[in-house]
Structure 1
Amino acid sequence: MRQLSTLSGGLLLALGLSGCGTDCGLEPEPCESRQLTISSLEAEYGCTNTRYLNTEPTGAALIVRTQAEFDQRVSGACHPQIDFTKYDLVVGQQQQLGGAASSSVTYDYQLACPANERVLRVVLKMGVTNDLGSRSYHALVPKLAPTETVRVIVEVTQ
């Protein structure tokens, strides 16, 4: 009986060691463009007015990955403790020539192929007021890998 156990163990070990050293002829999974889910500071943390979040004037959206970075780089009326194990925050500001105070924003977050990149499309619809200024936008995206990025496209419409 002991010889049978030794023989069985030896066969299993030999099979394990002789496995494929490469991908064994398997094709990589094809990239499929698809809609990705996002959330917001309003939905997750009860914030009421995020149109005036302030970020460093970098001219580009930021990906905030930690609470310390959020505390340092973003200010405004709502400043929650974000669950950065679950989300990363994509945040930015857009200058508007009019209607900033009454503007609205919509988001579309997708995995775009064949580049296999995440794209956040932000559509700012100008409001009816005559004010000049900037309008903040943000999205809580599912946690990204440390080197993963999001391409942000901002469109301002009438």
Structure 2
Amino acid sequence: MDFQLSSLLKPSALADADTARELLALNEETQEYGLELTQEDALALAETRRIALEASGRVEFGTPVIEKIIRTFSRSRYLYQYDYAPVLHELLEAFFQLKNETEDRFSDDDLIDFLFDCFEYRYRGSLEMFRGREIEQLRGILLFGAEDEENEDGEDPDDE
């Protein structure tokens, strides 16, 4: 019998039901903001979490990241019931991508707070920040504190 510890640590589709149950329990907290996950939403988020973990080569015990994302973002003034689950999917994927790209230099809480601040204040609820080139810009802000390489005049500061 070939036994591999890594196969035990991988999240499985069977665990998705447990994750979904934990996410549904958060509805009691998020209902005050008019946000609620359905059973289907919760199962889909559990699957997105599992896929994001596998794609990033990460292991997570329990559901602390997705729970913190839900608790943090449910208070956003830009989040509504109709886009609640889609935003959570994007956030999960962005979180694990940024966690890898910043080589774990930031705690989970700090990264989630950073994403919330960007979503709420910098991008005013736009999901574009979680896609393509924007994720690279977020990585740069996190690592270097700079939005881009140009100053206000549009000139590259290294050319001076």
- State the TM-score, normalizing by the size of structure 2: 0.26
Which has more strand, going by share of residues? 1
**Greater relative contact order (Cα < 8 A, sep 6+):** 1
Which has more helix, going by share of residues? 2
- State the TM-score, normalizing by the size of structure 1: 0.26
